[in-house]
Amino acid sequence: MADTLKTVVVSDAFMHEEYYRRCFEKFPEYEITHALFFGTQDRLSMRDPIHHMERNGPDTLEPPAELYDAIEDADVLMVHVCPVNRRLLARAKRLKVILTNRGGLENIDVAAATELGIPVLNNPAHNANSVAELTLCLMISEMRNIARTHANMMQHKWVEFYHNAGQVHEISGSVVGIIGFGNIGRRVARKLTVFDCKKVLVYDKYVPADDPDLAKYGCEFVDLETLLRESDIVTLHVRSDECVLFREHFDMMKPSAYFINCARSHLIDNQALYENLRDNKLMGAAFDVYPREPIRPDEPYASLDNTTLSNHRGGDTENCYSDSPAALLTQFNRMRAGEKPRFWANEEALRARG
């Protein structure tokens, strides 16, 4: 076991220690020397701190106190939402890599890691399929009044006419606009290929117009304004604040259009969207994310009859957590063998290491 890499793993309310244990049994070249826990076991109480960290960085929250000592002798650090700040990395005397089981890097001080020559590998694909599946579910649920019908049927009410009576359409024959063509957006596009859409439009400021997946999934690359004006369904799949939808953007959409948000609530003008829905300037919308979670009794979207709401379950499947550690270790093994890993936050770290 002399050649095993000493590994510190940090679990949390979402990423259970058992997921790490099951994974590492299949990777004998790694030895878990410390298994720590970050935060509380209550998922709801963790949401606000995590959202705050996503906006303000890894110094917002403190990692487990034991991690400062544990990291001194570690070769590998694997986390999920646990913050990894500059003070912690200063204690890492032999750390070879930081592996994070999420797509976003807001909980990692990537700049500090890069200065110290520590590569950071993340896993943007860990929940991509689960979010893509929920996106399609919310599209159909809102357009076909599934949630509203279910609520009425559970009260023994047979209701056939809703706000979109006479205007219920299928995804087939519709124009779907995807804002953000990353791991999730691409999976939505791939899944839409079996729905016989009229067109699938894509906007992403970081993706070239000749990206091969656009042709592969039958998508048309357009500017944001064109996407909003022409789409019957608009679905948001970006993380960056550099793409925020304001009132003028929602005003561009067709009155018959639907809007789906499984991304981030702060990336849209929620007041403007609420007013457009209330005033029937949009046909409907579906949400998995909200400005305040859990939602409160005065949540505006909950007062409307043309919305479908789910409680931030987009990336919450057993698969997206339990499968991620193995995917990261596989990528790091590729890197150790001289290959380029699929997701790499700071390739320049190796230059810093010299």
Rounded to an integer, the average pLDDT of 326-350 is 90
- 2 has a pLDDT exceeding 60: no
Same domain, 112 and 177: no
| C-beta atoms surrounding 309 within 10 Å | 19
Catalytic residue among 31, 115, 220, 293: 293
Tell me how far apart the alpha carbons of residues 124 and 139 are, in angstroms, rounded to a whole number. Answer: 23
pTM higher than 0.75: yes
* pLDDT of 243 over the 60 cut: yes
Does the active-site annotation cover 264? yes
pLDDT of residue 104: 85
The reply to whether 290 and 169 lie within a common domain is yes
Do 121 and 134 share a domain, yes or no? no
pLDDT at 297 over 90: yes
- What is the pLDDT at residue 14? 93
Same domain (yes/no): 173, 136: yes
Residues 330, 343: one domain? yes
Are residues 113 and 33 part of one domain?
Answer: yes
What are 157's two structure tokens? 């009410």
- Which pLDDT score, from 0 to 100, does residue 125 have? 86
Residue the block writes with tokens 């590492």: 24
CB 139 within 8 A of CB 171: yes
Full domain range(s) for residue 295: 128-309
The model's pLDDT over 209-222, given as tens digits with 9 standing for 90+, comes to: 999 999 999 999 99
Whether 240 shows a pLDDT value over 90: the answer reads no
Q: Calculate the average pLDDT of the chain.
A: 94
Which three-class secondary structure state does DSSP give residue 114?
A: helix
Same domain for 244 and 198? yes
What percent of the chain has pLDDT above 90?
86
Task: Find how far residue 222's CA is from the centre of its chain.
Answer: 23
Number of domains in the chain: 2
Largest CA distance in the chain: 71
Active site residue 190: no
Cα 301 to chain centroid, rounded: 21
Q: Of 54, 239, 264, 299, which one is the catalytic site residue? A: 264
Structure-block tokens of residue 351: 């230059």
Q: What is the pLDDT of residues 219-235, one digit of tens each?
A: 999 999 999 999 999 99
Active-site position among 312, 334, 336, 348: 312
Do 84 and 177 fall into the same domain? no
Q: Does 292 lie in the same domain as 163?
A: yes
| CATH number of the domain where residue 81 is located | 3.40.50.720
Are 90 and 192 part of one and the same domain? no
Helix (H, G, I), strand (E, B) or coil at 6: strand
Confidence of residue 1 (pLDDT cuts 50, 70, 90): very low
- Each residue's pLDDT tens digit, 117-145: 999 999 988 889 999 999 999 999 999 99
Pair 170, 241 in one domain: yes
Please tell me whether residues 106 and 235 are part of one structural domain. no
The rounded distance, in Å, linking the Cα atoms of 203 and 106 is 24
Residue 126, pLDDT score:
87
Task: State the pLDDT at residue 68.
Answer: 98
Other beta carbons within 10 angstroms of residue 195's beta carbon come to 16
Give the C-alpha separation, 56 to 48, whole Å: 12
